[in-house]
Amino acid sequence: MKRYADLSPSQRTIMTPGPVEVDPRVLRAMSYPILGQFDPEFTRLMNETMEMLRLLFRTGNRWAYPVDGTSRSGIEAVLASLIEPGDRVLIPIYGRFGHLLHEIADRCGAVVRVIEKEWGTVFEPEEVIGAMKSFKPHVVAMVHGETSTGRIQPLAEIGKACRDEGVLFVVDAVATIGGVPVETDNWYIDAVIGGTQKCLSVPSGMAPVTYNERAERKVLARKRVERGLRSMAEAELSDLRPIQSNYLDLSQLQDYWSPDRLNHHTEMTSMLYALREGLRIVLEEGLDNRFARHKLHESALIAGLEAMGMTLYGDMKCKMPVVTCVTIPGNIDGESVRSMLLHRFGIEIASSFGPLKGKIWRIGTMGYSCRERNVLHLLGAFEAVLQRHRFKLSAGAALQAALDVYEGG
Ligand SMILES: *Cc1c(COP(=O)(O)O)cnc(C)c1O
């Protein structure tokens, strides 16, 4: 019989926009014995997780809980629960993950209007607000931090305008939550989806979401249709349709997370331990300290890359602090550089998608991966590898520039 080797994954320095390195405390949390999902000890852990998620999302919303599945399960749960076939949905797109929102909204039967911005830039709020006012959508859905291009979209004005017009505003904050401020309530966002494997430094496998009463009202109305509870008068007033998905039905998920604990799926015990520990770490550090830490390491990384003679990609006014995109210099094979970083130094950086494939590298400074040792290790290795690829640079300059930042020079 074939024998399979013991599991022994290499120690990597993961400097991608996710998944990133997981805090050892979170890995330990995942190794504890499981509890039954209706065990009071476990429901207490679920409730604590909800409490911590409200702080993370900076919201007073009742509903803040993880959807079991990767981040796109959270996106799909929110869109499938809020969009009825025939609903008008506006999707402003400035990178790959905007296209994901579009695809999911399409599959929900939405009448989608897309507005697009050249990759490397973001929208002026007026552009989105103008399109919203003319299209009069039921929902506006957009990405906060586009990991594909390393850009961050200001949301506050758009959120306010959507609220004023009675439009539901849905935001994919998968890549920003826990690394960059996300102000659910202050920015008038009706539903937000976060991710675990990016700035929270928890493995992939859960999607924390939060939504307010405006969003809940739509979800509950659709549930009443499904149960046949709608009166004739209501039936005449609207043509609400039930939520298509069972697994991703927010009305059922919230019953499961409510004190009623109505059975739905089997909660992912070990992932819940992981998320709870990850959130505890975030709150111990403090959200504002955490955002400042991400900015500090971003500054050191940028200083090093520029001293090396690298050109950063995209409009710097809307650069996402946790992802730094670097233009691959002409006649350098980007994949060969990435491969040498991985195989000689154990460091992983990312390439990009679509129009940016082969044109930029993407370097993440997220969560537990975002620390001085990693930034310095990457800059030293990057210099050496680029020299091996015959790129002319003044050796040592990158590390000195980064050290200047760390030593406050
Ligand atoms: C990573 C990412 C996703 C997708 O997350 P999965 O966990 O792979 O499903 C969605 N949106 C953004 C902005 C991301 O960065």
Model confidence over 35-93: pLDDT tens digits? Answer: 998 999 999 999 999 999 999 999 999 999 999 999 999 999 999 999 999 999 999 99
* Residue 391 pLDDT: 94
For residues 55, 56, 59, 61, the Cα torsion angle rounded to the nearest 10 degrees is -90
Task: Indicate if ligand 1 lies below 6 Å from the C-beta of 364.
Answer: no
Name the residue of 16, 71, 202 to mutate for ligand 1: max ligand atoms within 8 A of Cβ: 71
Q: How far is the CA of 147 from the centre of ligand 1 (A)?
A: 8
Q: How far apart are CA 182 and CA 199, in angstroms?
A: 12
pLDDT score, position 392: 92
Q: Please tell me if the domain spanning 24-282 has the same topology as the one spanning 287-406.
A: no
Atom of ligand 1 nearest to the CA of 147: 15
**Third-level CATH fold of 287-406:** Aspartate Aminotransferase, domain 1 (3.90.1150)
Question: Is 371 within any annotated ligand binding site?
Answer: no
> Residue ranges of the domains in the chain?
24-282, 287-406
Q: Is 204 in the pocket of ligand 1 (CB under 6 A)?
A: yes
| Residue 335 phi, psi dihedral angles, 5° rounding | -70, -30
Query: 386 CB contacts (<8 Å, ≥6 apart)?
Result: 308, 332, 337, 393
Q: Cβ(150) to ligand 1 under 6 A?
A: no
From CA 131, how far away is CA 149, in angstroms rounded? 23
pTM above 0.85, yes or no: yes
Ligand 1 contacts CB of residue 70 (under 6 A): yes
Confidence (pLDDT) at 228: 59
Q: How far is the CA of 179 from the centre of ligand 1 (A)?
A: 15
Looking at residue 225, what is its pLDDT? 63
Measured distance CA(220)–CA(101) in Å, rounded: 23
> Is the shortest distance between the CB of 328 and ligand 1 below 6 Å?
no
What is the distance between the alpha carbons of residues 143 and 101, in angstroms, rounded to a whole number?
A: 8
Report the alpha-carbon distance of residue 267 to residue 233 in Å, rounded. 38
Residue of the CA atom closest to atom 5 of ligand 1: 71
139 neighbors 161 (Cβ within 8 angstroms): no
Residue-wise over 20-42: b if at least 16 C-beta within 10 A, else e? bbbbeebeebbeeeebebeeeeb
**pLDDT value for 223:** 78
- For position 70, what pLDDT does the model report? 98
| Ligand 1 close to Cβ of residue 148 (< 6 A) | no
The answer to whether the beta carbons of residues 145 and 322 sit under 8 Å apart is: yes
The amino acid at 144: H
Which residues of the chain, if any, have pLDDT below 70? 224-239, 409
Tell me if 251 CB under 6 Å of ligand 1: no
How far apart (Å, rounded) are the C-alpha atoms in residues 226 and 232? 14
- The residue count of the chain comes to 409
Map residue 211 onto helix, strand or coil: strand
Candidates 144, 148, 150; CA nearest to 170 is 144
What's the confidence (pLDDT) of residue 234? 55
* Distance between Cα 325 and ligand 1 center (Å): 17
- Fold designation for 24-282: Aspartate Aminotransferase; domain 2 (3.40.640)
Q: Is the CB of 18 under 6 A from ligand 1?
A: yes
Give the per-residue pLDDT at 88. 98
